[in-house]
Structure 1
Amino acid sequence: MSTDALAEKLAAALARHGSLAIAVSGGVDSMTLAATAHRRMPAGTVSMIHAVSPAVPQAATERVKARAAAEGWALSVTGAGEFDDPRYRANPVDRCYFCKSSLYDRIRAITPATIASGANLDDLGDYRPGLLAAAERDVVHPFVEAELAKADVRRLAHRLGLDEVAELPAQPCLASRVETGIAISAEDLAFIDETETRIAALLPAGATLRCRVTHAGIVIELDDAADAKVRETAEALCAGAGRRFAGVRPYKRGAAFLRAAP
C-alpha cells in the first residue's frame, strides 16, 4: 500500500472521533499520531497530553515540547502519577496496567475528549497489560483502527517530515528496564537514563540499547556485540554508582518481564 493510502486510512480513522486527547510519549508512534491529527482534524478538536515522571527520559519530553512549539500543538504537560501507586512501585509483571491506569485517569481529569493512544497492530501480539487499562477507560487506538503496523507508522513519520523520530528504535518507559520483582525507584531510573544516554553516544544512530536492572546486576543489551569502549563505559558508570556490572548480552525484547511458565 502506498504511503498516501496509509495516510488516508489513518485520517479516516481519526475522523470517526469528534475530539481527541492524544497521549504523546515522545516516541515515533505517538508523535506520528499527534502530527497527523493536528494536520488533518478540524482546529480545536485535538489536544496533546505529555506525562512526565522519573520513568520518562528527559530527551523524550524535550522532543515533544520542541515539536509542539514548531507545529503549534495544543500541548498540556502533566505528572503521570504512577509513583503514587504502591502496586506500580512493587513492579509486578503487570506493572504497566497500573502505570497506564494512572496515566489515563490523569488525562481524563484534564479533558473530556476521547483519549487516544499510539498503539499499532504489532502491539496487539505482545504482552501489554496497559491495553487492559486502556480498554477499561474507552481509550481508542487510531493506528489499530486503520490497520497500521509499526513499519507503516515509520513510513508515515517520514512522509510528515518527522525526521527526529522516524527511525528511532522502540523506546518503552525506563521502568521497562527493571526486572520484575525489583521495586521501581527514581534512583534506578535516573541511572538507566544516564547510562543509556552515555552509551548511545558510542553507537550508530538508531541502534537498539537497553540498560537492564536485573537481580544479577546491571546488564547492557545491544543489537550487536559491544566493543571495548561500550563495556568500559558501562563498567565505569556502575563502579561510580556502586552497582554490580553483570555484562553485555544481545538485545531481547521484553527481557525484564519475568513471567511464570504456564
Structure 2
Amino acid sequence: MKVHIIGGGNLGVAIALGLSQFSPENKITITRRNVSSITYLEKLGATVTSNNVHQIEEADVIILTIKPYQVDMVLTEILPYVSQKIVASAVSGLSIEKLQEKIGNTNSAIRIMPNIAAQFGASATCIAFHEKDTMQAQQVVSLFHTLGTAPIIDEKLMDAATVLAASGTAFALRYIRASMQAGIEIGFDWQTALAISAQTVKGAAQMLLEEKIHPEQLIDRVTTPQGCTIAGLNEMEMHGFSSSLIKGIKTSLKQIKG
C-alpha cells in the first residue's frame, strides 16, 4: 500500500517508523511543516516532505495525525487532490460522521487510535468504521496489525480507547518509574532497576497476550501462602493501588468528554 501520513509529530513518526521496519513493502510518505526534524526517516525508505499534497493522488490510505484545530485547514488543502481514498483519522474527538461530512462521499472515513509503541510494532490500535466501509477498513486493520494489535470497536468507545490505549502508555510508564524508584531503595542502581522493572512488565504483558487468560490466573502462579508477593500486593491495595488507577482512567475520560 501507499500510505500518506499527514502530521510528522510523535504519533505520525511512530507509525512511519513502525511501517518502515515491520511492513517495508509499503511505500510511506510523511509530512511536517518543519521537515528538518524528521529527515532521518528517509534512510528507512520513507518520503519526507513539507508539502501535504506531495504524491497524495497516488496514496491508497491517508492517515491524519494532526491536532483537531488543524483538520479544516489540512482538508481544505488536500481535498482537491483526494478522491476514492481511505482517510484514517487519529484526530481526537473527530467522529466518523463529521469526518465523512468533511471529506465527501467519494472517500471512506475510518477512525483509528494508535499509540506511540507503533514504532516498535507494539501498538494497541483501536479501529472504528461504518458498515458501508468494511472492505476499506479491513485494509487499515491489516496495516495496523503489522504494528501490534488492531481491535475493531464501536465508535462510541473511541474516547475510552484513547484513554486506555494512548494515555495508558503514560500510566504504564509511571508504574515502571515507581517500580524503578523502589528498586533503588532496596539496593539497585537506577539503570539496573529500570532494566528489571521494564522487562518484568514486558514479560507480564506477553504472558497475558500469549495465553489469553485473566490477569488473576497469572498472579496466582507467583503468589504463595505467606509469601512476599501476596504481602506486597495486599499492602499496595490497602493504599489504593487499583482504585487509584481506575479513578485516573475515568478522570482522563471525563477530561476528553469535557
Structure 1 length normalisation: TM-score? 0.35
Structure 2 length normalisation: TM-score? 0.35
Which structure's residues are more often helix, by fraction?
2
Structure label with greater radius of gyration: 2
